[in-house]
Chain A
Amino acid sequence: MEILMSVIAGILFMVGTYLILSKNMIRIVLGTNFISHGAHILILTMAGLKTGAPPLLGLEATNYTDPLPQALILTAIVISFGVTAFFLVLGYRTYKVTGTDNTDGLRGPDSYD
């Protein structure tokens, strides 16, 4: 299972990276979304999978899965939502102001003098 999940995380990272390397701004936003999915799964995998019951004491199990990565991921999910939204709006605004959604057309000035 851990190996499978590592491969899945790798695929998600690959897709995310591929998308953020493209020129289209929407694709870049989608790419960040995929990278966060990959990161969440990676964090969960690294801690070891299915080592016990869900981390709820009410279940009164002898073993529980590690709750810490889950807490971290929960935070990360919500943040990645905020960041994705921000990227989307930033891309939209850039498009409105510059008239292009091709990031190659968005270089800074060549010189600062």
Chain B
Amino acid sequence: MFTTLHLAIIAPFFIAIVVPILYKYFPRTHTGWFVLFVPILLFLYFLRFIPETSNGNTYHAVFDWIPSLGIQFTAYVDGLGLLFALLITGIGSLVVLYSIYYLSKEQEALNRFYVFLLMFMGAMLGVVLSDNLLVLYVFWEVTSISSFLLISYWYERDKSRYGAMKSLLITVVGGFAMLVGFILLYQMTGTFSIQTMIQSVDDFTEHALFLPTMLCILLGAFTKSAQFPFHIWLPDAMEAPTPVSAYLHSATMVKAGIYLVARLSPIFAISGEWLWLVAGFGITTLFWGSFNAVRQTDLKGILAFSTVSQLGMILSMLGVGALALHFDGIDNNVYIGATAAALFHLMNHATFKGSLFMMVGIVDHETGTRDIRRLGGLMTIMPITFTIAVIGSFSMAGLPPFNGFLSKEMFFTAMVDVASFQQFNMDTFGVLFPVVAWVASVFTFIYSMMLVFKTFGGKLQLGQLEKKPHEAPFGMLLSPIILISLVIVFGFFPNILAYTVIEPAMASILPSLLRNGEHFLVDIYFWHGWTVELFMTMGVVLIGTVLYLTLRKWKSIYSLFPKHLSFNHLYDTTITRGESLSAKVTGMYMTGSVKHYLIYILTFFSIFLLYVLFSTDAFALNTDHLAPISMYEWLLAIVLALSAIAIMFAKNRLATLIILGVSGYSVALFFVTLRAPDLALTQLVIETVSVVMFLLGFYHLPEIAENFKKARFQVKNFIISFLVGFTVTVIGISASSTRLFESIADFFPKASYDEAGGNNMVNVILVDFRGFDTLFEILVLTIASIGIFVVIKLRLNEKEER
């Protein structure tokens, strides 16, 4: 059944169809205002599910999408899906609002922008609310495609196209691996429904395909969520308009990978490999992203690497959260804190990173640059933007009293707890987790400070800026202000989120821990006492401040990394080499000459058919039922064969025409002797008309036959054509000598008078039994004649005008 829920998921696609029309007919209104109501309505719609899911209920609706293949579009709402749906529609509303002021309706192609944005929104909702893996995959790829289109929105820029291509290649390769993983999952479980798989999870954890499946799916998740070493696409994706960066490349799309990891945790999380892969790649990405963010000079570059690093952090928490599965129940189970932290940070990241992106967009919009070497001193000119930047950055750095502090503390707790786990070598290598986490946090602190003080502190360099900066209009500030208020609200009252959204989402990630009627209890609060985590944060601030102030002295360590060893370099070489190699290979056979292509086709046709014919022993020569040959027919055959062969050597075009006529009329006469009166009549008339046609053609186009005389006998062509002729003969003989099944020929004599009231069976077949054929045939004829009319009458330029 197609329910309201399905409609809610698909709605953005429908609205996307209408957008170009609205854009065209309401040119005075910014198209964004029409689009804005979609995410807002959807957000309100999804809010209504909260009471349901926080009671531990789930909601699902099945719609048979492709029944013949058993593919159902099952919309499934549980805590996790709802959390993401709210994120997508909530941030979506703010981003659309922001974009109305960011993109000018005079200069930008708004219709394209909003079509792609809505397409993305719908696809993303589809990803997080589908229970069927194949449907999920389809939506997943649509998000990749819409991301590609949005990154290349300013397609006249080289860097936009480069970034779009890079993101598409990396995410789609990952997506393809993920599809393989899904199919393997199907092989093991016999279903594409995630929930059904989770119920039967114990049956296949020992399966031989379990590990390869996991690797394939994780590859998809890691590429999408820009995990090390696939993170290289995200900084280049920053060429997109800032609202897109804020929406797709920080708040939602890049979190699809995290969603997938969380969603499939109940299936895979029990294994040690999952733990090490997810947590290991997460923590590496956290470090590498934050480390590289510090060397960036572009504000969006800093935010891109920061996003990479924060995604790694969330993922590492999800990975560590899997440790909880090795204990029974939820009481005294310290490791469930990691999962709660992951979800909490997911929301926090969306709020502070979204506002920071919008802040950067404002700075870019008002000053014309994002380069921190040229910016500075904006504090007094743009006080509101500055406030947004301070709150957002401090939250990102993990300073109280903002929400980032809370999730950072929870993160440290989780990492410290890892070291005490006794399985999977955690007791030896596990100590690396808190260490790396702490080092990465120091770098996070440094780039957060850079973001604020390099932009707003220091001296104003008016000469370096393209415009004279001033505070942004209120509408542009509205969205970041809303987000930044949420940063503060979630900081002081984190439990608004904890009870409504996080607890039900945890139930979806760790369902096996819950006994009947139980639910997770998450309490987030500021003061934990003088714990290790607090000292860690204090250390971060202390060392971070020192390093920030001495930044210039140690920045040279970044040049220690040789450029040709970077992943970007690897990507670029692979692309260029691949392109030149494929160009070479293609150039070998795609010569651009139709003749060569015909030779390939014909040679393949003959050799393949002959091979099949003889390898399956299909060649047959049965002389029992041969029809007799009369004298006339011998004569006709000789005439036809001779005239056909003669045309190969004809050098005079009139002679050619006569030979053509002779062979055509011989065929017509053959139809007479072969008892096909209709064919004979048609062939006779057609031949007459075509000869006239060629005659007229030659008369009016005398030049065209000029090169006729130069034609020489081509041995190579003859060999190929002989091969084709031989194949046809052999097939003809075999076909007429074999009867594999009863012919339907007997049907027509009986049926044509009784059912169609005609005595001429051929005509009855044409107009009645196979009327469709005839209908399309006259359509072809019509198209041919219109085509000829156009080809003759079309005048491409003035020169041809007569």
Contacts and interface: CB of A to CB of B under 8 A. Distances in A.
A86 B678 contact: no
A63 to B, nearest CB: 9
A17 B745 contact: no
Given A21-B599, A22-B717, A85-B693, A6 B785 contact: no
A98 to B, nearest CB: 12
A13 B645 CA distance: 11
Interface residues of A, number: 87
Interface in A1-46: 1-27, 30, 33-34, 37-38, 40-42, 44-46
Contacts of B726: 10, 14
Contacts of B721: 13-18, 21
A19 B301 CA distance: 63
Binding site secondary structure of chain B: helix
A101 to B, nearest CB: 5
B337 to A, nearest CB: 55
A107 to B, nearest CB: 3
Given A48-B736, A85-B788, A67 B761 contact: yes
B690 A84 contact: yes
A45 B627 CA distance: 10
A15 B647 contact: yes
Interface string B280-314: 00000000000000000000000000000000000
A23 B717 CA distance: 11
B674 interface: yes
B557 interface: no
Contacts of B209: none
Contacts of A3: 621, 623, 626, 733
B729 A7 contact: yes
Contact of B708 (A2, A18, A24, A79): A24
Nearest to B590: A108
B239 to A, nearest CB: 21
A90 B570 CA distance: 48
B720 A17 contact: yes
A8 to B, nearest CB: 6
Contacts of A5: 670, 732
Contacts of A56: 677, 759-761
Nearest to B645: A15
A66 B592 CA distance: 44
Given A10-B728, A57-B761, A92 B679 contact: no
A7 B678 CA distance: 24
A95 B710 CA distance: 17
B676 interface: yes
A13, A30, A67: most-surrounded residue (chain B CB, <10 A): A67
A103 B704 contact: no
Interface stretch (B345-353, B473-481, B636-644): B636-644
B761 A4 contact: no
B212 interface: no
B777 A75 contact: yes
A112 B690 CA distance: 39
Interface in A82-113: 82-86, 88-93, 95-97, 101-104, 106-108, 110
A23 B766 CA distance: 38
Most chain B beta-carbon contacts within 10 A, residue among A19, A47, A74, A92: A74
Nearest to A25: B704
Nearest to B713: A18
Contact of B703 (A48, A93, A95): A95
A66 B766 CA distance: 14
B792 interface: yes
B764 to A, nearest CB: 8
A54 B681 CA distance: 13
Given A13-B724, A101-B706, 11 more contacts: A11-B641, A14-B725, A16-B721, A18-B714, A26-B704, A48-B627, A49-B674, A67-B762, A75-B773, A86-B787, A92-B704
Interface of B: 591-595, 598-599, 602, 621, 623, 625-629, 633, 637, 640-641, 644-645, 647-648, 653, 656, 660, 663-664, 667, 670-671, 674-679, 682-683, 686, 689-690, 693-694, 697, 701, 703-708, 711, 714, 717-718, 720-722, 724-733, 735-737, 743-745, 748-749, 752-753, 758-762, 765-766, 770, 773-774, 777, 780-781, 784-785, 787-788, 791-792, 796, 800
